[in-house]
Chain A
């Protein structure tokens, strides 16, 4: 059975909701940001299409970070569920989109060969997971709440607790990587990476709320984190062949 699919155009990105490329308070951005302006394109097939994923790409425990690397016991730390909806700017659910997450362990240490922080690696925690959203755009995974950690920006900078998120979207133009923070963390307002965003409303979109309704009693707490990708709408006027506006 093939679903009827209407080609959809992705609405232009509103850069007021995003950090600029050059944000000197985050030092690494200084040499890694283009100096020229981006060149804006109208959507073609190259932008309104993107990779399709299926449950065959994933394993059954991929969304359970508590168990997916457990070797001889459970990982140490606060057990939490993170869940929410992925929608586009018009409120449509984004179905079957690939959500990938990665994070440090409870002590703020990453399982990565380049991480030298002295807090120990947890032998039972890997720190990555992935899941596809369902028909309603809903996703959930289970994990350990990550700890904050220090990093070499200003010598006293610490990242707030955060989970990295990657979303594939329905179109290559919707591709997004971001970070989720936790409600109430006092490090959020001091963080140079958070502060690359010059817009308090946009920063608020990155803060997950404690959600006791979704907690499992005597087992784990929950946080709710909804995400929005760029709006896509039906193509209203297609295939102009003569005198097309550029």
Chain B
């Protein structure tokens, strides 16, 4: 063990995380190009969806200074990364698969504009249900929290998903299901995250 280097310790992102990771939200413009919550352009393949929600603390109060990142496969179920060698599925050069969003300082609502991902092969060759990986940081969070959002209209795939099935408390699995809503012409998945308490979201050690 001695020869391995220890991972640098995590620390909270703090209340001013926006300065570094989303300066326009902090109230000033500095970089020509910014990373944001829109993952698509007009050429991206796949069904357009919005993912939106709030993060709540243990008292049920919305966390208004949270920053989230999502990471997901493209519409065919392939990640835009060289370690994904599912060669039979096309890469989409108009889809990085990653985005960054912050909650609104008043309402606590955050939102991503993306596409619905296809199913990705899991360990042992079994398909995982379509899902979006999320990472959450904020003041008071000492180490980033990882979770996944699955889709309410993928019940059969969710039933067979190897990660959902790892959660032995069946009642907790539903904390990972984004609820599909139709809002005008827009498809929205509502995904509220509860950091603590009765409806506590499942968080993973990746």
A and B part of one assembly: yes
A230 interface hit (Cβ, 8 Å): yes
Provided the pairs A21-B141, A40-B204, A178-B10 are in contact, do residues A112 and B26 lie with their beta carbons within 8 angstroms? yes
> 8 Å CB contacts to A: which residues of B95-132?
96-98, 105, 120-125, 128, 131
In the complex, the answer to whether A202 meets B120 with C-beta atoms within 8 Å is: no
Interchain CA distance A239-B206 in the complex, whole Å: 19
Interchain CA distance A171-B140 in the complex, whole Å: 24
A111 interface hit (Cβ, 8 Å): yes
Most buried by B among A42, A45, A50, A87: A45
Q: Which residues of B contact A166 (CB under 8 A)?
A: 13, 20-21
A222 interface hit (Cβ, 8 Å): no
Q: Which residues of A contact B19 (CB under 8 A)?
A: 102-103, 110-112, 126-128
> 8 Å CB contacts to B: which residues of A186-241?
193-194, 196-197, 199, 201-203, 205-206, 227-231, 239-241
In the complex, the answer to whether B20 meets A46 with C-beta atoms within 8 Å is: no
Q: Which residues of A contact B131 (CB under 8 A)?
A: 46
In the complex, the answer to whether B205 meets A38 with C-beta atoms within 8 Å is: yes
Chain A residue at smallest Cβ distance from B72:
A46
Q: Which residues of B contact A13 (CB under 8 A)?
A: 7, 205-206
Task: Give a binary string over B44-76; 1 marks a CB under 8 Å from any A CB, 0 the rest.
Answer: 000000000000011101010100010101000
Interface of B is mostly: loop
Q: Which residues of B contact A17 (CB under 8 A)?
A: 6-9
In the complex, the answer to whether A231 meets B57 with C-beta atoms within 8 Å is: no
A91 interface hit (Cβ, 8 Å): yes
A44 interface hit (Cβ, 8 Å): yes
Shortest distance from the beta carbon of B46 to any chain A beta carbon, whole Å: 17
A23 interface hit (Cβ, 8 Å): yes
Provided the pairs A50-B71, A68-B30, A102-B19 are in contact, do residues A41 and B205 lie with their beta carbons within 8 angstroms? yes
Q: Which residues of A contact B122 (CB under 8 A)?
A: 44-45
Shortest distance from the beta carbon of A103 to any chain B beta carbon, whole Å: 8
Chain B's interface size range is: 35 or more
Q: Which residues of B contact A62 (CB under 8 A)?
A: 31
Interchain CA distance A233-B133 in the complex, whole Å: 22
Shortest distance from the beta carbon of B37 to any chain A beta carbon, whole Å: 14
Interface of A is mostly: loop
Shortest distance from the beta carbon of B98 to any chain A beta carbon, whole Å: 3
A1 interface hit (Cβ, 8 Å): no
In the complex, the answer to whether B6 meets A14 with C-beta atoms within 8 Å is: yes
A69 interface hit (Cβ, 8 Å): yes
Interchain CA distance A202-B11 in the complex, whole Å: 11
A26 interface hit (Cβ, 8 Å): yes
Shortest distance from the beta carbon of B26 to any chain A beta carbon, whole Å: 4
In the complex, the answer to whether B196 meets A35 with C-beta atoms within 8 Å is: yes
Interchain CA distance A113-B123 in the complex, whole Å: 45
In the complex, the answer to whether A89 meets B206 with C-beta atoms within 8 Å is: no
Q: Which residues of A contact B69 (CB under 8 A)?
A: 175
Interchain CA distance A51-B71 in the complex, whole Å: 7
A20 interface hit (Cβ, 8 Å): yes
Pull 28 A–B residue pairs with CB atoms less than 8 Å apart, ordered by A.
Answer: A3-B82, A19-B9, A19-B11, A31-B61, A33-B195, A39-B167, A43-B206, A44-B128, A45-B83, A46-B73, A47-B206, A49-B71, A49-B83, A69-B30, A111-B19, A112-B15, A112-B26, A114-B15, A126-B19, A126-B28, A128-B19, A130-B31, A172-B135, A176-B8, A177-B13, A205-B8, A240-B123, A246-B166
Known pairs A31-B195, A113-B27, A231-B4; list 9 more (Cβ under 8 Å).
A13-B205, A13-B206, A17-B9, A33-B196, A36-B200, A36-B203, A110-B16, A166-B21, A206-B11
